[in-house]
Amino acid sequence: MSKEKFIQEITEGYTFKGESIVLGGAMLDGECQTDTLVNLPLKTLNRHGLIAGATGSGKTKTLQILAEQFSANSIPVLLMDVKGDLSGIAAPSPGHPKIDERHLKIGIPFHKDISPVEFLSLSDEKGARLRATVSEFGPVLFSKILGLNETQSGIVSVVFKYCDDKKLPLLDLKDFKKTLQYLMGEGKEEIEGDYGRLSTASVGAIMRKIVEIEQQGAETFFGETSFDVDDLCRIDENGKGMVSVIRLTDIQDKPKLFSTFMLQMLAEIYATFPEKGDADQPELVIFIDEAHLVFEKASDALLNQIESIIKLIRSKGVGIFFVTQNPKDVPDDVLGQLGLKIQHALRAFTAKDRKAIKLTAQNYPLTDYYDTEQLLTELGIGEALVTVLNEKGIPTPLVHCLLRAPQSRMDILSDEEIDDIISQSKIISKYNKEVDRESAYEVLGKKIEAAQEAEHQEELRKQQEKAKKSTSKRRSKEKSGFEKVVDSTVGRQVGRTIARELTRGLLGALGISSSRRKKKSGWF
């Protein structure tokens, strides 16, 4: 195929009737074809996307380019900043001769610019705190997060139903645990009559699952004030979409918490946002950096839930872009839903790596201009293979693209710069206020204390009655013994008296008889 044919095919394939953003310039035989631009149609970018490539190949900068271009087109963006290197989007690029050279090859001018940024946090990082209540998860989603079986999920449903019936707010994990404790103890008879008996073994298993996610910091995520996803869709006074950066540098070793947060966020967006149909551009774009953290430790139930939401959420005008090293990090069912694919270089060090590259090459449209499998290992930094759905939903021709440079800083902000942005936040005071209103933990805690106090008083009463009976019995025994002693003494005294009297009588009779005999015998 000739160079002219290539330019014609790429120009026709990447020219759209609606609004689009410029990703970079097309390349052939290692050279950028000036003014042969690779555009992305905003209309189909709610069909999700993938940015993949080896470490150091330029994935993060590609994410940065897309995010700032979306923002410039009044599309709000949510960034998962796992490595902590995306904050620079809030500051202008310092510029560089190599940047000017790159843009000259592409055929577009370079402009420095910034995007409005809001910092968010799941933990103690600086920014507005993201929280959600246990009730907002619901029994089904909460059970899937914990990885429970059918029997255990049934118990979770009973806990939610009981709290709903009794008007008990189920806000955080300690509320849920306290409710379980109450239903297995003081409220056992109450729950068995209305909902059936709960298995002690299943309750113990649920408790262990909760402890597992608590150890990954989930107690800081569950609670109030719940984050309102509408705050992700703000437009600033200049008409730019707000870029919300979630600082996740301290949860890289907590994949369970990351998966929990992601699933809740997607579920809340899906439940809250209205249907949009085929809109001219997305309402919100979400970038999930280090996407393998979402899928790596997820249970089958959790993966199924994520896949279902990703399939459905595009109708709400939401686009989700996964950023990871290898496409195989993303499940096949999810990968098949992605309309935009930006593939940076892959490295082949082992036979397994070469096999993975061959499989990756097969995921892209066939082309007469590139040996895709070989090119994947030869791409330079800031270069990628690109294909996207056109306005009719058809994949565009595969193109080797020289990416434009970010208009914002390709480095992180200093602590002082981050503090300055946070000080201007319009939502941080709303979400960083500690709230711990009376909920199931306090209400049931009082019931448990009252029941324990009543049980304690009953035990004291029984002990007192037992002590009284014991004292009475002892006194009765003492009295009986005393009476025996008294009776024995009196008996002996009476006996002695009778004996003495009898003796006296007998001796007296003997004395009289003796005297009479003496008189008769002349003794006197």
pLDDT band at 455 (very low <50, low <70, confident <90, very high): low
* Residue 436 belongs to some domain of the structure: no
Calculate mean pLDDT across residues 152-164.
91
* pLDDT of res. 214: 86
pLDDT confidence of residue 349: 84
Q: Are residues 209 and 278 in the same domain?
A: no
Contact between 155 and 246 (Cβ < 8 Å): no
pLDDT tier, 390 (very low <50, low <70, confident <90, very high otherwise): very high
Which of the two residues, 441 and 209, has the higher pLDDT score? 209
Whether residue 88 has pLDDT greater than 80: yes
User: In degrees rounded to 5, what are phi and psi of residue 512?
Assistant: -65, -45
Residue 75 is encoded by which pair of tokens? Answer: 């599309």
Dist CA 168 CA 179 (whole Å): 9
Using only the alpha carbons of the chain, give its radius of gyration.
43
Q: Is the residue at 445 inside a domain?
A: no
H/E stretch holding 289: strand 284-289
272-291 burial string, b = 16+ CB within 10 Å, else e?
A: ebeebeeeebbbbbbbbbbb
* One domain, residues 288 and 333: yes
What is the C-alpha to C-alpha distance for residues 54 and 384, in angstroms, rounded to an integer?
11
CA–CA separation, 355 and 428 (whole Å): 48
In the block, tokens 């693209």 appear at 401
Together in a domain, 79 and 27: yes
What value does the mean pLDDT take over residues 167-183? 89
Higher pLDDT, 267 or 91: 91
Q: What is the mean pLDDT of the segment spanning 497-513?
A: 49
In the DSSP assignment, the letter for residue 389 is B
User: Average pLDDT in the 352-360 region?
Assistant: 87
Q: Are residues 263 and 398 in the same domain?
A: yes
Residues 284 and 214 in one domain: no
What DSSP character marks residue 172?
S
As a 3-state breakdown, the chain gives helix, strand, coil percent values, each rounded to 5, of: 50, 15, 35
- Are 103 and 71 within one domain? yes
Q: Is residue 484 part of a domain?
A: no
The verdict on residue 156 lying in a domain is yes
CA distance 158 to 136: 16
Mean pLDDT calculated for residue range 443-466: 71
Per-residue model confidence (pLDDT) at position 511: 47
**Which of 106-110, 162-166, 189-193 ranks highest by mean pLDDT?**
106-110
Buried b (16+ CB within 10 A) or exposed e, 109-123: ebeebbbbbbbbbbb
- pLDDT of amino acid 482: 47
In a domain, 140, yes or no: yes
CATH of the domain at 114: 3.40.50.300
Domain shared by 326 and 345, yes or no: yes
Give start and end residues of each alpha helix (H) in 249-331: 255-272, 292-296, 300-313
Question: What is the reported pLDDT for 19?
Answer: 93
DSSP secondary structure, 119-130, as one string: EEESSSSSSEEP
**Boundary residue ending a domain (202, 218, 234):** 218
Q: What H or E segment, with its residue span, contains residue 499?
A: helix 440-521
User: 33-67 as b/e, with b when 16 or more CB fall inside 10 Å?
Assistant: beebbbbbbbbbbbbbbbbbbbeebbbbbbbbbbb
**In which region does residue 518 sit, left (phi positive, over 0), alpha (psi from -120 to 50) or beta (all else)?**
alpha
Q: Supply the pLDDT for residue 83.
A: 84
Q: Residue 176 in contact with residue 134, Cβ under 8 Å? A: yes
Which is nearest to 32 in space by CA: 383, 378, 361, 406?
383
520 is a domain residue: no
Read off the pLDDT of each residue in 383-397 and give the average, rounded to a whole number. 94
Beta-carbon contacts of 63 under 8 Å, excluding residues fewer than 6 positions away, are: 51, 79, 86, 287, 289, 321, 323
For 285-309, the pLDDT digits (tens) are 999 988 887 777 666 777 787 788 8
Residue 441 placed within a domain: no
Alpha helices in 196-254 (DSSP H): 200-214
- Please tell me which residue, 309 or 456, carries the higher pLDDT value: 309
* Pair 314, 108: CB distance under 8 Å: no
The yes-or-no verdict on residue 65 having pLDDT over 90 is yes
Write out pLDDT tens, residues 24-53.
999 999 999 999 999 999 999 999 999 999
Per DSSP, the three-state class of 384 is strand
- Interval 244-285: pLDDT, tens: 999 888 776 777 777 778 888 888 898 899 998 778 999 999
> Where in the sequence is the domain holding 423, given as residue range(s)?
3-131+224-431
The span from the CA of 416 to the CA of 200, in Å, is 53
Q: Domain ends where: 176, 194, 218?
A: 218
Q: Find where tokens 């293979």 sit.
A: 385
Q: What are the phi and psi torsion angles at 131 (to 5°)?
A: -135, 160
- Tell whether the model's pLDDT for residue 486 goes beyond 60: no
Angle between helices 200-214 and 173-184 (to 10 degrees): 160
Highest-pLDDT range among 79-83, 193-197, 446-450: 79-83
Does 20 have pLDDT greater than 70?
yes
pLDDT average, residue stretch 329-346: 90
Could you tell me the two tokens for 125?
Answer: 């990082």
Examine the domain organization and report whether 103 and 155 are in the same domain: no
Average pLDDT over residues 347-371: 88
The answer to the question of residue 381 being in a domain is yes
Short-list 325, 262, 319, 335, CA closest to 292: 325
Which of residues 415, 431, 447 is at a domain's end? 431
316, 403: one domain: yes
| Pairwise CA distance, residues 32 & 30, whole Å | 7
Which of 159, 226, 229, 265 is CA-nearest to residue 437? 226
pLDDT, average across residues 14-28: 94
Pair 196, 237 in one domain: no
231 and 201 share one domain: no
Name, in order, each residue with C-beta under 8 angstroms of 212's C-beta and a sequence gap of 6 or more: 256
The predicted structure's pLDDT at residue 479: 53
Q: Which two tokens stand for residue 229?
A: 């996803």
pLDDT for 514 beyond 60: no
Computed over every residue of the chain, the mean pLDDT equals 84
Phi-psi region of 29 (alpha: psi -120 to 50; beta: other; left: phi over 0): left
Mean pLDDT of 399-405: 96
Burial 455-489 (b: 16+ CB within 10 A, else e): eeeeeeeeeeeeeeeeeeeeeeeeeeeeeeeeeee
The tally of domains found in the chain comes to 2
127 and 139 in a single domain? The answer is no
